[in-house]
Structure 1
Amino acid sequence: MKNGWTNFLLGYIRVVLNGRGTERFVNECIRNGIPVWKVKRTKEEELSLFVRLKDVHALRPIARKNDCKCHFKERRGIPFLMRKTGRNLGFAIGFVLFLAVLFLLSNMVWSIEIQGAKPETEHLIKKELTRIGVKEGSIQFLIPDADDIQKSLSDRIKAITWVGVKLNGTSYHLKVVEKNEPDKTEYASPGNIVAAKKAVITRMFVSHGKPLVTVNDHVQKGQLLVSGVIGTEKNSKIIASKALVFGETWYKSSVEVPLRTNFNVFSGNNNVKHYITIGSFQLPIWGFNQKEFSSQEKEEDQRYVKFLNWSLPVGYLKETIREKEAVKRLYTPSEARQAGLRIGKSDVLQKIGENGQIIGEKVLHQTNENGKVKMIILYQVIENIAKSTPIVQGD
């Protein structure tokens, strides 16, 4: 019989027939649409066969008609298992509760291990993990995935450079790389301070060393600004120079801004679908009657049910579909010029650091060709030009 699973769900019975009309019994069952299978002759005038549970009541009239007797030997399938379970209801309920608790415990977070972090950084990490719901006793299905945890920690804790998040069974393992900020021992060895680039000195703060230039002096790249040799010619001493020397310098920036730009952005509309997955089969359980977007991007979050240390092929899938739309940005030449100035300014500020400042800008050249505004911009800035160099014997 090919429908083995169906028969098991509905129940089936092994029947033993005795009598002279056993063959006629089988033939009449087939004529009446009663399936029989695994028909075997066990003795003379005795047959063994299987029938469905729902066809049992139709057998006795056929047996009497064909001078046979039916004996029901084996009962198989879900209905008989349920009947046996009913006799041992307490045991069955206990067994089901045991499995439920075991599944629940297998899908909880039991420990969080953090490696490579200082105690104060580890405290900040645990505090952030608790904020996003990752803590001992949490259900794994209800907390963010490893990528989201990693992004949250990297964005909110400035003391770490990188963090790796891995889930092993019921434990989260985090490996942390902290930012190395060595003690600031400026100019630990004897040294001079020279100009890092051509500039006009605007202000100086010398704490150690002998200044050799003054405010408003024009200096060239590599020129000595503060000497590490102090004292008289006969009684000199070599030290590590320390100073901040700010100078007026210039940066030239080339910027191109297209007047027309096409790009894709998310509209903010999204569909969320939920599935129960069994192997490659997906059973929709929520959100499957939503309209489709003409342009979209799909994001999947797959979680698998765990039993002890095994990952079962049964799980939960959350599918987020975000709508994308094409946007055209049009600039007038005047608007493109302003955008170019902002781009160039941002680029220069990254180069001069947080202590630098822009005090002036001038567009040296501007053209409008091939749908683009091209500019060459000169920026006047104030920045620290001090650069430490060691004092070599003989200097």
Structure 2
Amino acid sequence: MKNQWIEFCSGIVSVKVSGKGIERFINQLIRNGISVWDVKRHGTETVIFHLKLADVKKLRLLARKSGCKISFQQRIGVPFLLKKLMHNIGLIVGAFLFLFIILFLSNMVWRIEINGANPATEYKVYKQLDKMGIKPGKLQFFIDDVETIQRNLTNKIQVITWVGVELRGTTFHLEVVEKKEPKKPEIHGPRNLVAKKEAVITYIFVEKGKQMVNRHDHVVPGQILVSGVYGKEGQTELVSSKGEILGETWYKSTVELPIKSTFQVFNGNEKRKYYVRIANFSIPVWGFGTPKYAEYETDSTEHKVHFLKWDLPVSFINSTIREREEVTRIYTNDEAVNMAKEIARKDIKTKLTEDAIIKGEKVLHQAVENGKVKLSIHFQIIENIAEGQPIIQGDEE
């Protein structure tokens, strides 16, 4: 039959009919709309054929009136398979539960291994991972992808230069490269302390060597601040000068800031959608429909489903749709000037050491042209201006 698969789903019964007038009985079945197929004769008074499970009741009624004897030989199809399965429902549920538990445990984070970091940095990495929700016992479906984890760790932990993140099965492997501050070469030989930039001395402390300048002195780059030639005339010795010399230095910063600017921001409205992807087909499981956002951005994270050490052709997709809107910001002149000053301060701090202090600032030029505030600021900075300079033979006084 052309629809044999459909009949298999609804159920097929093999019937044995015995008696006289079998041909008349089969013709009567057909006249009453009962389809039979695979009719085979066994002897002169026996026939075996197949019919649909739904026609069994009609068959019984017609068989009583025909005088033929019927018996059911074989039951084929989904209804009979389900009936057999119901007798072993406990075993089936147990098997599915076992597979589900294995699948569940195979997609959980069990270990986090960190290599290349000292104990202090390793502790910081563990703490940051915990803030991100990455810890043993967490399902991988609700964790960021490895690129996002890598980016967040690098941005949040200042002592690392790079971190490689790899998920192997149920274990996160992290390879950390720490920042190595260049060690200042220790000068064991004689040296002077000289000015590395133009400045006015504000503080001086000499631990070793001969002081050559005083507070409020104006010095230029290369000028000796502390000499390594120490002692009275004729009784001098060469030493490695040590000390701290702070000076007032000067920097100039120029900033341009538009008074009116337009940019895109997220307004906080978002919708989460979850999918299960099987091969190339995505099946939504939560968050149906499309949000009516005029402007939006979609961020999706795909997690492969694992079974023990194997990757299944199934993925769990977490998609976040965030509404975006255009915002126009307009500063007053005073607000623009204050913002430009703040930008200039941040720019200057990137050029200074951590112990440098901004003593004062003065606006040299301020103008509003073509919708922009243009600002030129002079900064007074207190910073360490001394650096070592080896004493070469012949430099002694």
Interval of TM-score (by shorter of Structure 1 and Structure 2): 0.7 to 0.9
1:211 match: 211
Deviation track 1:258-317 (CA, whole Å, cap 9, x = no partner) reads 121111111111111222332332333332246321011111122232111222233322
CA distance in 2, matches of 1:17, 1:134: 66
Match of 1:280 in 2: 280
Structure 2 residue identity aligned to 1:195: A
Gaps of 5+ in 1: none
Is the CA contact (8 Å cut-off) linking 1:14 and 1:48 kept in structure 2? no
Deviations 1:167-186 (A, max 9, x none): 11111101112232477775
Partner of 2:134: 134
Q: Deviations over 1:8-30 (max 9, x none)?
A: 6x3544858999979x97x959x
Q: Which residue of 2 aligns with 1:240?
A: 240
Separation in structure 2 between the aligned mates of residue 196 and residue 2 of structure 1, nearest angstrom = 95
**1:317 paired residue number:** 317
Partners of 1:34 and 1:236 in 2: how far apart? 125
* Equivalent-residue separation in structure 2 for 1:363 and 1:49 (angstroms): 105
- Structure 2 counterpart of 1:307, one-letter code: F
**Unmatched tracts of structure 2, length 5 or more:** none
Query: How far apart are 1:110 and its partner, in Å?
Result: 2.6
Structure 2 CA distance for aligned equivalents of residues 47 and 116 of structure 1: 81
SS in 2 for 1:101: helix
Is 1:12–1:50's contact at 8 Å kept on the other side of the alignment?
Answer: no
In structure 2, relative to structure 1, the CA distance for the partners of 1:173 and 1:4 (3 Å cut) is farther
Q: 1:391 to 1:92 in 2, by over 3 A?
A: same
Query: Which of the two has higher C-alpha Rg?
Result: 2
CA distance in 1, matches of 2:253, 2:13: 91
Distance (whole Å) between structure 2 residues aligned to residue 57 and residue 182 of structure 1? 93
Among all aligned residue pairs of Structure 1 and Structure 2, give the percentage whose two residues are the same amino acid: 44
TM-score (ref. length: structure 2): 0.80
Q: For the residues of structure 2 that align with 1:383 and 1:389, how far apart are their CA atoms?
A: 18
Say if 1:360 and 1:330 are closer, same or farther in 2 by CA, change over 3 A. same
Q: Distance in 1 between matches of 2:189 and 2:55?
A: 100
Counterpart of 1:375? Answer: 375
Q: What is the CA–CA distance in structure 1 between the aligned matches of 2:190 and 2:2, rounded to whole Å? A: 92
Q: Separation in 2 of the partners of 1:4 and 1:217? A: 106
Query: What SS class does the counterpart of residue 351 from structure 2 fall into?
Result: helix
Deviations 1:374-393 (A, max 9, x none): 22222222222222233344
Q: Secondary structure at the match of 2:293?
A: coil
2:255 aligned partner: 255
Report SS of the residue matched to 1:351. coil
- Residues 184 and 349 of structure 1: CA distance in aligned 2, closer, same or farther (over 3 Å): same
Residues 157 and 55 of structure 1, relative CA distance in 2, 3 Å threshold? farther
Question: 1:225 matched to which residue of 2?
Answer: 225
**Mean CA deviation greater in 257-266 or 372-381:** 372-381
1:75 lines up with 2:76 in the alignment: yes
Are the equivalent residues in 1 in contact too, given 2:201–2:214 (CA < 8 A)? yes
Equivalent residue, structure 2, for 1:267: 267
Q: CA deviation at 1:220?
A: 1.4
Q: Which residue of 2 aligns with 1:353?
A: 353
Corresponding residue number in structure 2 for 1:390: 390
Q: Distance in 2 between matches of 1:375 and 1:35?
A: 96
**1:108 equivalenced with 2:108 (yes/no):** yes
Q: How far apart, in 1, do the equivalents of 2:328 and 2:121 lie? A: 45
Q: 1:367 to 1:83 in 2, by over 3 A?
A: same
Return the alpha-carbon distance in structure 2 between the equivalents of residues 50 and 196 of structure 1.
104
- With over 3 angstroms needed to count, the CA separation of the structure-2 counterparts of 1:87 and 1:230, relative to structure 1, is same
CA RMSD of aligned residues (A): 3.9
Between the aligned partners of 1:44 and 1:371, the Cα distance in structure 2 is: 106
Moved more, 163-172 or 359-368: 359-368
**Alignment CA distance shift 1:344-1:324 (3 Å):** same
| CA–CA separation in structure 2 for the residues paired with 1:364 and 1:109 | 59
Q: How does 1:299-310 map to 2 (within 5 A)?
A: 299-310=299-310
1:93 maps to a residue whose letter is V
TM-score scaled by length of structure 1: 0.80
SS in structure 1 opposite 2:103? helix
Q: Deviations over 1:208-231 (max 9, x none)?
A: 332222212221122222223333
CA distance in 1, matches of 2:185, 2:384: 18
Q: Which residue of 2 aligns with 1:366?
A: 366
